[in-house]
Chain A
Amino acid sequence: MDFELLLVILVDGLVYSSYLFLVAVGLTVIFGVQKVLNVTHGSFYAFGAYFAAYLIGLWSRGGLPDWGGFLLILGSAIVLGIVLGVIIERGLLKYLYDRDEHIVVLATFAAFLVLEDVILLIWGTNPYLAFQPLALLGNSEIAGLVFDNYALTMIALTFIVAFILWYGLNRTQFGKVLLAVIFDREISMAMGINVTKVFLITFMIGTFLGALGGAYHAPIISVQPGIGVEVIVLAFAVVVIGGMGSIPGALIGSIIVGISRAAAVHMYPELELFVIYAIMAFVLVIRPEGLFAPIKARKI
């Protein structure tokens, strides 16, 4: 194997990893706190992509400067995080926290089906393109291959998001409260923590992250029906590999999946999907709790 191919796989893989991380980290945050494996997360991603692509389209047709696209991406993710987060958490999950975990997964699957059609009702079946931010940043050449600078900024965004989450969880008061709730919901309630509020805020953050993944990804892809279906199962794979509920796990999981997928695409394209789920199955077999699962205290 020559050096150039290796470099291409590395860069391609890192870009793909950062995309995976942005989607998967929201899923893992929600699972870590609420113990809900949230299929609806795929819709959050799709909503983010559609909303951002739609707004960017409007924006550039209005003749406004292209850099505004970045603000629109962030803005749309925040709006969706608040709106969808409240709707799904207050309107659905609130009633299901005491039920079996399978039932909760199924309920989020049902909500996912509903949201898929809501997206179609709002934005129709035609694909949306939002290439302006992509065109604005231009591209650069690495090892004889052309990469979009926009895609490379995604790697930076990944580290920013990872850092903010780490900081928020370990260095702020809300983070400490969150850890207490994760550790023991009932005791934290007894200590005066408003668990309902913590759950809602976490879910909104998770939703925001899912939507941000979609919104930031919108300029690179053609935003069309079915993107949510594809993404959620990939995010599952990443989260399972890294360990459900672990943020460093999501980071490592996305790097593993991203690099191996890039390697497969460039060397054995037929194995592209196989490789991802083979790793997922392999990790489940050797370490079902995931490579980086937080150690659980046993409660009696």
Chain B
Amino acid sequence: MNQLLDKTFWGLTIGLVALFALNFVLEEWMRSIGLQSLSRGCVAIGLLILWRTGLVSFGHALFFGFGAYTVAMLQIAGVNDIFVLLIGGTATAGLLAFFLGFLLRQYRAIFFALLNMAFSMILYGVLAKVEALGSTDGIGVSHVSFLGYVPADEDYRPTLYVFAICFAYIAAVLSHWYLKSTLGMMTMAVRENEIRVEYLGYSAERAIHAKYVISGVLAGVGGVIMAVTVGHVDPDSMVYWPVSGDFVFITILSGTGNVGATFIGALVYELLRTYAFEFAPEIWQLILGGSLLLIIMFLPDGLWSIRSEWRNRRRMAAAARGETQAAE
């Protein structure tokens, strides 16, 4: 049990408490940034799991959009509770990932990335052209209830924020525990040498399939949170290929070192985007792209690597100090 309650777990829990506390002081626009970071962070955890397996998907907007559109569809059907919407959104995204997984688990490298993209573009093509699904205008998502509790208008966003934090926290902790389990550790093994994994008696394809379903479910969670946060779903901002690109952006920004780092990466991305858009609307994409290039060039393991770098440096300094003392 103690193994489960490690540093990362406590880090995430402290983050949870801190975010709860912040709810009392946050302005509405900050809360929006927070909600969107939580949503994108969830998707990025899924991509992190795939990335550790050596796979990159350029099409996870497929599951993200699937989760988001399920929310809109369920609302049209009359369902309005956040828990039902969440279960519905993640279940449909997970099921889709489960079925596509039989196919995708056979692919590696650029083919995996491109086949994912093809599927996400198929969904985009359908959503953008079919009138019944709102075509390019999308569908509105109205206020939801929380286990029957319907908050007053001024309490709605803070309540939503609390629930979103809980969902993201649960997703993060479960993913972290998964990555520490034997099956989770297989991610790196598959990445290093698939044939050896097979000889050890595990099926690399099944391991990849499991990770693919998990990443699909996580992207579904992100999609549900985003749909409820924005109050609107549409193909261009939820399923189009640059959306998938943004998720990969967040993954590389945070690095694959730690689940918690993903949320920091998502927050940094969101702030970068918001402030670039606010202060330099003509060049916000340039700023985003430029920062992505800088990360790729100079911080290939993401923001998380700053921490280990700093630690190494401190250790080296301590060692050097120790030597000089010994010499004296």
Binding site for B on A (CB under 8 A): 37, 92, 95-96, 99, 101-103, 105-107, 109-118, 120-121, 229, 233, 236-237, 240, 244, 269-278, 280-281, 284-285, 288
Contact = CB atoms under 8 A, between A and B. Distances in A.
Nearest to B129: A270
A112 B286 CA distance: 9
Most buried by B among A105, A107, A284: A284
Given A105-B110, A116-B285, A284-B115, 19 more contacts: A99-B300, A103-B300, A105-B113, A107-B293, A109-B245, A113-B285, A117-B283, A117-B286, A229-B240, A270-B131, A271-B129, A273-B121, A273-B128, A277-B121, A277-B122, A277-B125, A280-B114, A284-B114, A288-B107
B19 interface: no
A274 B127 CA distance: 9
29 contacts: A92-B293, A99-B300, A102-B248, A103-B300, A105-B58, A105-B113, A106-B249, A106-B292, A110-B296, A111-B293, A113-B292, A114-B289, A116-B286, A117-B282, A117-B286, A121-B282, A237-B118, A240-B114, A240-B118, A244-B110, A270-B129, A272-B125, A274-B122, A274-B126, A275-B125, A277-B121, A277-B125, A280-B114, A284-B115
Dominant SS among interface residues on chain A: helix
B241 A110 contact: no
Interface of B: 56, 58, 103, 107, 109-111, 113-115, 117-119, 121-122, 124-126, 128-131, 240-242, 245, 248-249, 252, 282-286, 288-290, 292-293, 296-297, 300
Given A102-B113, A106-B252, A117-B285, A272 B118 contact: no
B129 A269 contact: yes
Contacts of B285: 113-114, 116-117
Given A113-B288, A113-B289, A274-B122, A102 B56 contact: yes
Contacts of B119: 277, 281
A232 B228 CA distance: 31
A273 B124 contact: yes
B122 A278 contact: yes
B113 A114 contact: no
Contact of A110 (B114, B125, B293, B300): B293
Closest 3 CB pairs of A and B: A273-B125, A113-B289, A110-B292
Contact of A120 (B122, B128, B282, B293): B282
Contacts of A118: 286
A43 to B, nearest CB: 10
Contacts of A112: 289
A249 to B, nearest CB: 14
A280 B118 contact: yes
Given A102-B56, A109-B245, A113-B289, A121 B118 contact: no
Contacts of A105: 56, 58, 110, 113
Contact of A117 (B111, B126, B284): B284
B121 A114 contact: no
B282 to A, nearest CB: 6
Contacts of A288: 107, 111, 115
B129 A274 contact: yes
Contacts of A115: 289
Contact of B296 (A106, A117, A233, A272): A106
Nearest to A104: B296
Contacts of B282: 117, 120-121
A103 B288 CA distance: 16
The winner among A111, A113, A236 for most chain B CB atoms within 10 A is A113
Contacts of A102: 56, 109-110, 113, 248
A265 B242 CA distance: 25
A101 B109 contact: yes
A241 to B, nearest CB: 10
A236 B59 CA distance: 13
Contacts of B117: 233, 236
B129 A111 contact: no
Given A111-B289, A240-B114, A285 B122 contact: no
Contacts of A99: 300
A208 B58 CA distance: 26
Contacts of A280: 114, 118, 121
A248 B128 CA distance: 32
Most buried by B among A101, A110, A284: A110
A110 B129 contact: no
Contacts of B56: 102, 105
A180 B242 CA distance: 35
A288 B118 CA distance: 12
Contacts of A117: 282-286, 289
Contacts of A110: 249, 288-290, 292-293, 296
